[in-house]
Amino acid sequence: MLPLADVSSAFAAVGQWIAVALPIVLPVLLVAALVVMIVLMIRMTPRTRPQQIRPDSADVVRWEDVAGVDEAKDELREIVEFLREPERFERLGARLPTGLLLYGPPGTGKTLLARAVASESGAAFFSQSAASFVEMFAGLGAARVRRLFAEARKHAPAIVFIDELDAVGTARQGSGLNREGDQTLNQLLVELDGFAQTKRVVVIAASNRLDALDPALLRPGRFDRHVHVTQPDLPGRIAILGVHTRGKPLAAKVDLTRVARATAGLGGADLANICNEAAINAGRADRDEIRAGDFDWAIERVVAGLQARRAMTAKELRVLAHHEAGHAVVALALGRAEAIVRLTIVSRGSALGYMLSLPDEDRYMRTRDELLDGIRISLGGRAAEQVVFGRISTAASGDLRAATETARAMVVDYGMGETVRTRTLRAEDRLLSEESLRLADAEEARITDEAYVDAVAICEREHVAIERLAAALLQHETFDGAQVRELLTDVAVESDAAAWVGVAQTRTAPGS
């Protein structure tokens, strides 16, 4: 046993020692703790390294696993060929495209396409989601971008795939709030420019939106090839359903065409989901093959779960088919048949269906007649609804916007109204009087109203052709221009504004 005095003096000694050591040890401890914390935080942030996909790994994707997006596939195939045999193209002085951007709604197969490129190209493939560039520490995102590209350069020929590009690529904000994001984006731009010199490295990116991306990314030499990956049409959906039922035991009565018809508007991911749900339902009933009823059940289940992007009902499709047929028939009657490129009732983005048309020649000016015809064609969809169903729908909102814009430009910029023909009515030039504004409004309204009356007249006269084309659209969903023209050979062409451009009118002798 120690005497009490000894204990207290021992305590005093320890206390003294602590008093001396503390000022030295404490800062060291704090610094060490901080370092450990930072290291932990960096290590905990997800997927810091670029992921390299090897052609022999377990979940390879082949070209035949991607269906219904043929245009995108062709474009990517070309790049794969370029990487495989660069000499073939370089001999001709062709330069390898550096940046290719896949864009389109989610679930249409963008990531899938990139993975197919990875296994088919034979080139080293580095994949990273742009979301992993978004970091809380300034400069870390930029460092990751730098590392990804350095790695790819080392392994050329190589492909860099940046998924979900919108995560860093959204247009820069003016304020300084998002400095870190800007740094990352800037680094990406620097790397893309650096690629122009380094051959045989291709950058592919995927994004759900094109309009949100910073324009700097889309400039020539960067992501200058844009490939739209869209919702598949009927043959595309049949092919995708084929891919996802491959190796699944289907009952003889299952008709994939029927399933495809019932799923207008859905993308590849939804269709894959339907095939899977159908199989699950069959398994639940302990059957050893998948029946048509399982698909019906799956469609209902998947479609009901997709309120925002649901497939259209048969009634809605009927209206849409007549609406689009109206555009085409009015275009034909006005001599614009050659301009029709595609007519479809498959919804893409915000447009339910659409008629894609191109001007038949590249020109810098348009006559008043041509502009009016353009408005008549825009309103042809609504006119057909009015004539066939006696009631109009919201399907025409985009058309009305286009018609209004043209009419406004005619009145305000081009002096093509009825009364104002020698001056513009633009507000920047001078303050417009109340009266001028009212005048412009009235002129615009007159132009579009009269155009609508004309469109309705055409649709009434040609309603048989509209019915025929609408029925065919409901069957086949998409036609190219030649097919549309073939279906509408009986439509009377009443005018052709383009034919009169540059043709002098014959003068009549004055006074006669």
**Residue 109 or 335 having the CB closest to ligand ADP:** 109
**Residue 62 or 401 having the CB closest to Zn ion:** 401
d(CA 430, CA 416): 19
**Where does residue 511 rank: exposed (0-12), middle (13-18), buried (19+ CB within 10 A)?**
exposed
381 binds, among ligand ADP, Mg ion, Zn ion, none (CB under 5 to 8 A by kind): Zn ion
292: contact with ligand ADP by CB under 6 A = no
The answer to whether 252 and 240 are in contact (CB under 8 A) is no
- 223-228 and 99-103 strand pairing: parallel
Among all residues, whose Cβ is closest to ligand ADP? 268
386: contact with Mg ion by CB under 5 A = no
d(CA 445, CA 375): 12
Catalytic residue from among 120, 191, 324, 477: 324
263: contact with ligand ADP by CB under 6 A = no
380 binds, among Zn ion, Mg ion, ligand ADP, none (CB under 5 to 8 A by kind): none
What is the footprint of ligand ADP within residues 104-123 (CB under 6 A)? 106-112
**Residue 98 or 357 having the CB closest to Zn ion:** 357
488: contact with ligand ADP by CB under 6 A = no
3-class SS of residue 374: helix
241: contact with ligand ADP by CB under 6 A = no
Q: What is the three-state SS of 169-232?
A: HECCCCCHHHHHHHHHHHHHHHHHHHHCCCCCEEEEEEECCCCCECHHHHCCCCEEEEEECCCC
In the complex, minimum distance from the CB of residue 30 to Mg ion, in angstroms, rounded to a whole number: 44
141 binds, among Mg ion, ligand ADP, Zn ion, none (CB under 5 to 8 A by kind): none
d(CA 67, CA 73): 9
**Residue 268 or 417 having the CB closest to ligand ADP:** 268
**Residue 111 or 347 having the CB closest to Mg ion:** 111
d(CA 232, CA 246): 19
d(CA 121, CA 82): 9
207: contact with Mg ion by CB under 5 A = no
240 binds, among Zn ion, ligand ADP, Mg ion, none (CB under 5 to 8 A by kind): ligand ADP
The answer to whether 474 and 353 are in contact (CB under 8 A) is no
67: contact with ligand ADP by CB under 6 A = yes
In the complex, minimum distance from the CB of residue 217 to ligand ADP, in angstroms, rounded to a whole number: 18
Contacting range for Zn ion; rule: CB under 5 A; set: 141-149, 175-183, 279-287, 398-406: 398-406
In the complex, minimum distance from the CB of residue 68 to ligand ADP, in angstroms, rounded to a whole number: 5
Contacting range for ligand ADP; rule: CB under 6 A; set: 65-73, 145-153, 300-308, 356-364: 65-73
108 binds, among ligand ADP, Zn ion, Mg ion, none (CB under 5 to 8 A by kind): ligand ADP
The answer to whether 381 and 330 are in contact (CB under 8 A) is no
d(CA 229, CA 208): 9
417 binds, among Zn ion, Mg ion, ligand ADP, none (CB under 5 to 8 A by kind): none
324 counts as catalytic: yes
Q: For residue 342, give the H/E element and its range.
A: strand 340-344
Cβ-defined contacts of 294-303 (< 8 Å, 24+): 295/254, 295/259, 298/273, 298/274, 299/259, 299/262, 299/263, 299/274, 301/277, 302/266, 302/270, 302/273, 302/274, 302/277, 303/263, 303/266
**Residue 107 or 353 having the CB closest to ligand ADP:** 107
381: contact with Zn ion by CB under 5 A = yes
Where along the sequence are the contacts to ligand ADP (CB under 6 A)? 66-69, 106-112, 206, 240, 243, 268-269, 272
